[in-house]
Every structure is written in structure tokens, then in C-alpha cells.
Structure 1
């Protein structure tokens, strides 16, 4: 009996040492989870099931090897595609051999086809919409099963976007002096008859410019010239429909594209109230309702330059001090190629392009199960679904019980090396004790054999 107990103890100690050695060997492995051995005592019984009043055990046996899915330390890396999960959940990957697996190892790269893959070449799963004709990809507005797929980073860039709207937020100095309009008929050949001369600062009070783009993505300069024409009070008419606000001064707004004289155009007159706000905005293409802040502007007659766009002037003020811009905006852009990726806490993969545009192209998926210890390890820090684990529950990072993503970081193993080495010493002593019991049993048997 002691011999059997000793053998059982040797086997159990050997198994425990194997588990501890595996933990020590994988202590620096990204995403590896600590394992521990669960023991149970073993008893013999008769074929009929009868058991004596004093039952003698036959040693111990390994009942299970249990993994601890606690959080490991987070370490910063230089790879923007590396991801660590803070909290609950697993990354889900599509195996090359078919099927899906879970992992906490967030070391990812991009293959030649643009898929986000693990070091083994398995593809990271997420939510993404793909345009079949163009191959363009984007993050879906709503996370659904239809958008669940292996995520791909597009190889093509973004096309040109024509400028259709310009927004002006600036201050026109209330201290500016009135500039009288030139007399006589406008003569393109005689700059003295022009309403403004871009080369003569005495013909206007303030100018500013911004870049705009045509339908081909070619860049153009759109310049604005503001001229204060009146500085007298004009009463309003509250009974009119719509009501007309009183105006204390009026400015003319001119535009020129690429500083080409043929594109010079008067686009609006701007009237200000006593508080320095836009009270009246009249465009050359019609008078918008009172307090309207934008209008459709004609920018000149050159066919190879932008000709029509909406200009928003509600952000213009007339206060004392210097005339100065606050913010000039436009919605166009040149073509651009992808320059980099970033990943947010909620798993949104954002592409940055060389033209300054950013675009959400995918959402990383996190998967959970009801029973983590029911997952079956298959090596390479992968686990697969089993009946004991329950089915996969997929969702966005930060939603429900899911953790959040830390980009540019990885989760280290949750192994405590000091504790594992102490456990190894304990198990070594247990192994030696069981080995010594076998040696003693052998000596007793040898003594019995030698009796005469």
C-alpha cells in the first residue's frame, strides 16, 4: 500500500513540477496565463462497492490543471498595432486551419494583403464594412453580425474632395476708416477704376486667404478682401417681414481666386449692429433672410478654378482693436495616401492620410464566455470554445462587461516568478519524500526476501 501511495505521490509531484516549470518558462510570454494543479485523494474499493470501516488511501491524483485569467502587467511597445485588454475579454482570431480562437496576446502586424494578423498569420476579427465596387472600407455605424469579419487595412488612399463650403470666423476692426468707392465705370485695364486693387492696400481695410480645392484635388488660393464703405447708422424696420435690424456700419466682401484679376468678384455686403454682430448679410446672388449666416457665392469665371461654393460669414464680428482671423475652414482636400493607424480605447481603428484626413476604418471585437476555465488551451496562447465554456459573446470594447483597449501596449504574463520558484522547491521536497518512501518499501521487501 505504501508502495502504491509513493508511486501516486511521485506521479502527482511530477505533474505539479511540469506545470510549474511551464509557468516559469512562459513567465515572459505576452498574454500567457498562470496555471495551477488541483489534486484529489485516491481510494480503492471492492468490486461490490463495500468499503471497510477504516479505508486506507492509495495516494493522490491530479484532478485538473486550472488557469488564472487575472490581469497581467501592461508594457508599452513601439508598434501602434499592439493592443492590451484592460479588463475582461479576449481578442478573437480566424485560424488559417478554419474556425476561431481566443487570445490575450495583442501583438499584431499587417500582412501583404492588408489583414491585421498575429505572429502565426491568423487574422484579427472585428467589425468593418466593405464597398464591393471600390474596395473602400469603413467602420460601421452600428455593430452587427453582418459587419463581423477579418479586418483589413485598405491599400488605396482617399480621393480628392472639392471645396463646397468655406467658413469665416474673424474680427473686422471697428476702428477701421471708411474707404470711398472709386468713381467712374469699372475698366479691367485701369486699376484705378477697380473697386479694390489687391496690390494697393489703400483700396481695402483687411485681407485674408485660405487654401481651397477643385474637383481634381488641385489646390487654389481663395483670398478675401474686406472694405468698410459706410460708418453711419441705418435704422431697422421691426414690422417688415422678415424684420430688418438696424445697421451701424457696412462692409463689402470681395474674393479673388489665385490672385487672378478676372476672378475678382463682390460676393456680399455685411452690416453690423451696435453689439458688433452680423445684422444683415446681402449676397450678390440674392438677399438671404435676416440673420442668415451663409450664402452661395460666385467666385469668378475661370473654368479651371472653383467657381461656386457656400460661404458662411456668421462668425464675423466688428469689435475694436485690430482686424484678425480666428478660424478659416473649408471642407475640401487633395488626394491622400494612408500614413498611419491609431486605435482608441473603444477599439475604433482610425487611418490617418497624408492630406490630413482621418477616417474610421474598423472596430476591434472583444469576445467573452461565461466560464473562462471551460476554454480549451490549444497552444500558442490560444483557447477554443467547449461546451463547458459556453458560447462566444461578441461586442465592442468598453460595452457591457468588456474591457477597453490600450493601443501601443501589450499585456505581459501574470506569472509571479518568486511564487513559482517557491512552489518548485515545495514540490521538489514532496517528490523527494515520495521517492524516499519507495526506497524504504524496497528495503523492507529485500529484508523479507533474505529471511531464512
Structure 2
């Protein structure tokens, strides 16, 4: 009996040393979770069972469990390094089409603009509009438009915020006459191909609380345009009844291509201070190449382009399980789900019980090297003790056989 007990102890201690050695070897592996060998005693028969005796016959490794505690977060500065601070796993589509789950956030862009890990597995996420609003709860592989420039957008609205000097004389009665260029500003608009169209605005006072607005397109003389009138109330704010007609722009590449542009002067004022333009914007832009990206705590990926535009390119999804201990490790920092884990529960970072993301950082392994080395010494002593049990039993058996 002692031979079997000692042999089971040696086998279990050896298995424990394997687990500890695996932990030590992966102490620097990103997203690695420590494993622990859990032992169970063996009996020849169960308690109160009929027949036999309740004699212990050794030990076995009942299960090797994983410790899903949080690892330290180390800043790397790489835009596509992402650490999960809290619970959750990245969802990955492997090259063979299967699904895997990981805590290792070392991602890269492949030649098709897809966000992948070192094994080529695609990171899954939610589609969003250009402002980062989630469009669907169905995950899909995340990608960025790296294959070519984002298309241009023609200007559809020009917004101007300015103050016209209430002290200015009426132009027709001023001596000398006030030049049309005294109060004016300009902005660059864009046609559907991203070509620049200079647009100028000139203001001329025509009466108390009343101004004419002249427009200039592509360097034309504003005096040759048909003006429209804007009116102000006695408190200096723009009369809400003022109607501002749209401006028609012509593409410099093709005179047959014209498009309307709305103009908004809603925040314009007429106060007794110097003329000033406080804001002048338009919503068109040139084509642009991807220059950089950033990922916020909620997982929204924002891409920046050479034309100064930024737009969201998707949101990283996280997955969790009712029983994370049921996850099956498959190597390369990945786990696979099975019947023991239950169905995956998907969500966005920072929502509910899901952790938030830290871009430009990685989660270190949660392995405590000091604890592992102490456990290794304990496992070694257990191995030696069980070997001594076998040695002692052998000596007893030898003594019996050599009795005269």
C-alpha cells in the first residue's frame, strides 16, 4: 500500500512542479493568468460503504485552476496596446474561423487595415458612426481605412459668429463713403472632390440695425453680387425673422457642378464695440490619409487624418462568462469557451461589470514570482518526502524477505 501512496504522491508533486514551472516561465507574458494545482485524497472505499476498509491510498491532482485576478498595468506608449482594467476578455476571430478570448492587448494593423494580434486573430467590436455612437449590438471585425484616403466632403453649411459695430455710420451717408471691404471675412469651402473654393463675406450698414451682406466666390468682386439683408433687435441680437438665403457654389474643376451651401448667422450681434469675427467654420474637407489613432476608456477607436478630420472607426467589445474557470487555455494567451463556461455575455468597456480600457498600456501577468519560488520549494520537499516513503517501504520489505 505504501508503494502506491508514495507513487501517487510523487506523481502529484511532479504535476505540481509542472504547473509551477509553467507559471515561472510565463511570468513576463502579457495577460498571463497563474495556474494552481489542487489536490484531492484517494480512498479505497467511501465512508460507510459495505465491505472493505476506509483506507487512504494516496493523492491525485483534482484540477488545475486559473487565477483570474488583475495584473499590473504597464504603460508602453504604443497606440494599439490596450489593457483591460477590470473584468472581461477581448473577443477574437481566429484565422480558422473559431472564436477565442484573451487578456493580451498587443494589437497591430495588418495589410488590410484589420486590427489583429500576433497570431493574426481579428479583434471584434461594435460598428459606430463617425461620432462614436454605437450602431449595432452585433460584433464584427474592427478595421481602419488604411487602403486609401477617406473621400472628400463638399461644404454644406457655413457658420459665422461675429459682432458688427453699432457705432458704424450708415454707409450711404458717411463722409467719405465707407468702403465695402471695411467689415468682411473669408473662409475656404470645398467641392465634392475636395477642391478649395474661397468664399468671402462683406457687411455694409444700410440703416439702423440693418446691414447688407455681400458674397464673393472664387475671388469675385463682392460688389457684383446680389446682397441680402440681416436685421438686429434693439438689444443687439439678430432678429429671428431674418432670412439668410443659401449660397450657390461652383466647382472650380467643372463649372457644371454646383451645390447649395446654407449659411448660419444665429450668434451674430450688433454691439457698440469693434467689429470682430469670433467663429467661422464650414463642414467640408479635403481627402485625407490615416495618420494616427487613439482608443478611449470606453473602447471607441478614433482615427485622425491628414486633412485634420477625426472620426470614430468602431468600438472594442468585451466578453465575460458566468464561469470563467471553465475556459480552456489554448496557448498564445487565448482561451476557448465550452459548455462549462456558459454563453458569452458581450458588452462595452465600462458598462455594467465590464472593466475600462487603458490605451498605450498592457496588463502584466498576475504571477507572483516570490510565491511561486516558495511553492516550488514546498513541492520539491513533498516529492522528496514521498520518495522517502517508497524507500522506507522498500527497506521494510527487504528486512522481511531476509528474515531467517
Q: Same fold (TM over 0.5)?
A: yes
Q: What secondary structure does 1:398 align onto?
A: coil
Is the Cα contact below 8 Å between 1:263 and 1:300 reproduced in 2? no
Q: Which of 147, 170, 176 is the matching residue for 2:168?
A: 176
How many Å apart are 1:67 and its aligned residue?
A: 0.5
Counterpart-to-counterpart distance in 2, 1:425 and 1:168:
75
Q: Kindly provide the CA deviation profile for residues 395-446 of structure 1, in whole angstroms up to 9, marking residues without a partner as x.
A: 3333343222222222111111121122112222222222222222223333
Is residue 110 of structure 2 the alignment partner of residue 150 of structure 1? Answer: no
Q: Kindly provide the CA deviation profile for residues 190-223 of structure 1, in whole angstroms up to 9, marking residues without a partner as x.
A: xx9xxx9xxxx84443222211112321112222
Q: What secondary structure does 1:429 align onto?
A: helix
Shift in alpha-carbon separation, 1:301–1:437, aligned structure 2, 3 A: closer
Q: Kindly provide the CA deviation profile for residues 280-309 of structure 1, in whole angstroms up to 9, marking residues without a partner as x.
A: xxxxxxxxxx53464323579984897742
Q: Which of 295, 299, 305 is the matching residue for 1:347?
A: 299
Is the Cα contact below 8 Å between 2:200 and 2:222 reproduced in 1? no
How many Å apart are 1:52 and its aligned residue?
A: 5.1
Counterpart-to-counterpart distance in 1, 2:174 and 2:211:
15
Counterpart-to-counterpart distance in 2, 1:295 and 1:251:
15
Q: What secondary structure does 1:391 align onto?
A: coil
Shift in alpha-carbon separation, 1:140–1:320, aligned structure 2, 3 A: closer
How does 1:8-157 map onto structure 2 within 5 Å?
8-45=8-45, 50-51=50-51, 55-128=54-127, 141-145=134-138, 148-154=139-145, 155-157=147-149
Is the Cα contact below 8 Å between 2:197 and 2:251 reproduced in 1? no
Counterpart-to-counterpart distance in 1, 2:259 and 2:52:
103
Is the Cα contact below 8 Å between 1:213 and 1:220 reproduced in 2? yes
Q: Which residue of 1 aligns with 2:391?
A: 439
Is the Cα contact below 8 Å between 1:204 and 1:228 reproduced in 2? no
Is the Cα contact below 8 Å between 2:300 and 2:314 reproduced in 1? yes
Is the Cα contact below 8 Å between 1:87 and 1:402 reproduced in 2? yes
Q: Kindly provide the CA deviation profile for residues 240-282 of structure 1, in whole angstroms up to 9, marking residues without a partner as x.
A: xxxxxxxxx2222222224332784243222222211112xxx
Counterpart-to-counterpart distance in 1, 2:110 and 2:131:
19
Counterpart-to-counterpart distance in 2, 1:79 and 1:349:
14
Q: What secondary structure does 2:268 align onto?
A: strand
Counterpart-to-counterpart distance in 2, 1:121 and 1:299:
48
Counterpart-to-counterpart distance in 1, 2:154 and 2:25:
58
Is the Cα contact below 8 Å between 2:85 and 2:355 reproduced in 1? yes
Q: What secondary structure does 1:269 align onto?
A: strand
Counterpart-to-counterpart distance in 2, 1:297 and 1:138:
27
Is residue 193 of structure 2 the alignment partner of residue 216 of structure 1? Answer: yes
How many Å apart are 1:29 and its aligned residue?
A: 0.7
Counterpart-to-counterpart distance in 2, 1:301 and 1:381:
54
Is the Cα contact below 8 Å between 1:257 and 1:263 reproduced in 2? no
Q: What secondary structure does 2:165 align onto?
A: coil
Aligned-residue Cα RMSD (Å) equals 3.0
Counterpart-to-counterpart distance in 2, 1:175 and 1:138:
42
- Structure 1: 5+ residue runs without aligned partners? 131-136, 184-191, 232-248, 280-289
Q: Which of 200, 211, 218 is the matching residue for 1:251?
A: 211
Counterpart-to-counterpart distance in 2, 1:318 and 1:40:
86
Is the Cα contact below 8 Å between 2:128 and 2:315 reproduced in 1? no
Q: Which residue of 1 aligns with 2:221?
A: 261
Is the Cα contact below 8 Å between 1:366 and 1:402 reproduced in 2? yes
Counterpart-to-counterpart distance in 2, 1:114 and 1:181:
64
Counterpart-to-counterpart distance in 2, 1:356 and 1:73:
36
- Normalising by structure 2, report the TM-score: 0.89
- Structure 2: 5+ residue runs without aligned partners? none
Counterpart-to-counterpart distance in 1, 2:9 and 2:160:
83
Counterpart-to-counterpart distance in 1, 2:259 and 2:342:
62
Greater C-alpha Rg: 1
Q: What secondary structure does 1:336 align onto?
A: coil
Q: Which residue of 2 aligns with 1:399?
A: 351
How many Å apart are 1:316 and its aligned residue?
A: 0.7
Q: What secondary structure does 1:106 align onto?
A: coil
Q: Which of 309, 314, 327 is the matching residue for 2:279?
A: 327
Number of paired residues?
400
Counterpart-to-counterpart distance in 1, 2:268 and 2:125:
45
Shift in alpha-carbon separation, 1:129–1:230, aligned structure 2, 3 A: closer
Is the Cα contact below 8 Å between 2:231 and 2:242 reproduced in 1? no
Shift in alpha-carbon separation, 1:449–1:263, aligned structure 2, 3 A: farther
